[in-house]
Amino acid sequence: MKIKLYYTPQTRAVRVRWLLEELGLTYEVVNIELFEGEGQTAEYKKIHPLGCVPALEVDGEIMYESGAICDWLTDFYADKNMAPSLNSKLRIKYKQWFYFIVATMEPQAWNIVLHSFILPEKRRVPNIVKISEKRYCETLAVIEKELKGKNFLIGDQFTTADIMLATLLSWLPKQVKPFEHTYAYMKKMREMQSCVL
């Protein structure tokens, strides 16, 4: 299988690269200068119509959306044990947390990042930041309760859900710091990530 990852550091593409490393797969990295405008070129938009990263090419077939890519890779390489098996009761929690991270937590964090750092100042909406910070802290409180006394999100197993969560937490470490267990988890995951990237 020939795998090509379209990648920019400090983006959602990091989670895909981390997972590829954990899976022990051989892959090619195509660096996209996203912050220099390369994503908006006509050539790259043939890969990803919105000019974003990551995109994953597998034997000529293109896939995008980091959550979908990670979910597919985890299932395709089920023998690598990056998720509980389909017949495990832990699979229920795995799927719940995977999508809680992507669908409930991440939009709040993204709004904070977008309206605090990425958009030009005149386009930022401070009320969006305020509302999203409140909601994000609510989701962090849920994660804090879940992580108490645990090394990983799903029982004693490091899974793709940990990759999804750890990369998200790294976006806004100051917001994570008040949550003792989550902050310690984030730091531990960063150490694990630095070993593979």
Rounded distance, CA 183 to CA 174, Å? 9
* Cα 25–Cα 50–Cα 24 angle in degrees, nearest 5: 5
pLDDT band at 2 (very low <50, low <70, confident <90, very high): very high
Three-state secondary structure readout of the chain: CCEEEEECCCCCHHHHHHHHHHHCCCCEEEECCHHHCHHHCHHHHCCCCCCCCCEEEECCEEEECHHHHHHHHHHHCHHHCCCCCCCCCHHHHHHHHHHHHHHHHHHHHHHHHHHHHHCCHHHCCHHHHHHHHHHHHHHHHHHHHHHCCCCCCECCECCHHHHHHHHHHCCCHHHHCCCHHHHHHHHHHHHHHHHHC
Give, rounded to a whole angstrom, the gap between the first and last alpha carbons of the chain: 21
Which residue, 173, 101, 108, 162, is CA-closest to 134? 108
Tokens of 166: 């750890």
Position 197 scores a pLDDT of 75
The first and second tokens of residue 29, run together, are 């990295």
Residues 60 and 7 sit within 8 Å (Cβ to Cβ)? no
Q: Is the Cβ–Cβ distance between 171 and 109 less than 8 Å?
A: yes
Domains and CATH numbers, the chain: 3-80 (3.40.30.10), 90-196 (1.20.1050.10)
* Omega within 30 of 0 (cis) for the link into 54: yes
**pLDDT score, position 161:** 98
Residue 194: pLDDT band with limits 50, 70, 90: confident
pLDDT digits (tens, 9 = 90+) for 148-171: 999 999 989 999 999 999 999 999
- 18, 193 in Cβ contact below 8 A? yes
- 30-60 pLDDT tens trace: 999 999 999 999 999 999 999 999 999 999 9
